[in-house]
Amino acid sequence: MKIGPHTMSRGQLIGSPIIAKTPGKANEDGAGGVVVAEGNFVARYFNYKANLPRSEAEKVAYYIENSLRFWGEIVTVVDGFGVSRQCRYWKDEIRWTPIGGDMVSVDWPFRVEVT
CATH architecture label of 2-112 = Beta Barrel (2.40)
Residue 98's φ and ψ, nearest 5 degrees, are -60, 135
CA 87 – CA 75 distance, rounded (Å): 5
Contact indicator for 43, 22 with CB cutoff of 8 Å: yes
What is the per-residue pLDDT for 107? 94
User: C-alpha angle 13/18/22, rounded to 5°?
Assistant: 120
* Cα–Cα separations (whole angstroms), residue 103 to 13, 50, 83, 107: 19, 10, 27, 14
pTM above 0.85, yes or no: no
With a cut of 90, say whether residue 43 has pLDDT above it: no
CA 65 – CA 67 distance, rounded (Å): 6
With a cut of 60, say whether residue 106 has pLDDT above it: yes
User: What digits encode the pLDDT tens for the residues 62-78?
Assistant: 999 999 999 999 999 99
Kindly give the residue spans of alpha helices, DSSP state H, lying in the chain: 54-66
Rounded-to-10 torsion of CA 61, 67, 73, 74: -70
CA 95 – CA 74 distance, rounded (Å): 20
Least confidently predicted of 4-13, 39-48, 71-80, 93-102: 39-48
With a cut of 60, say whether residue 18 has pLDDT above it: no
Q: Where are the domains of the chain?
A: 2-112
Between residues 69 and 43, the one the model is more confident about: 69
What is the per-residue pLDDT for 94? 94
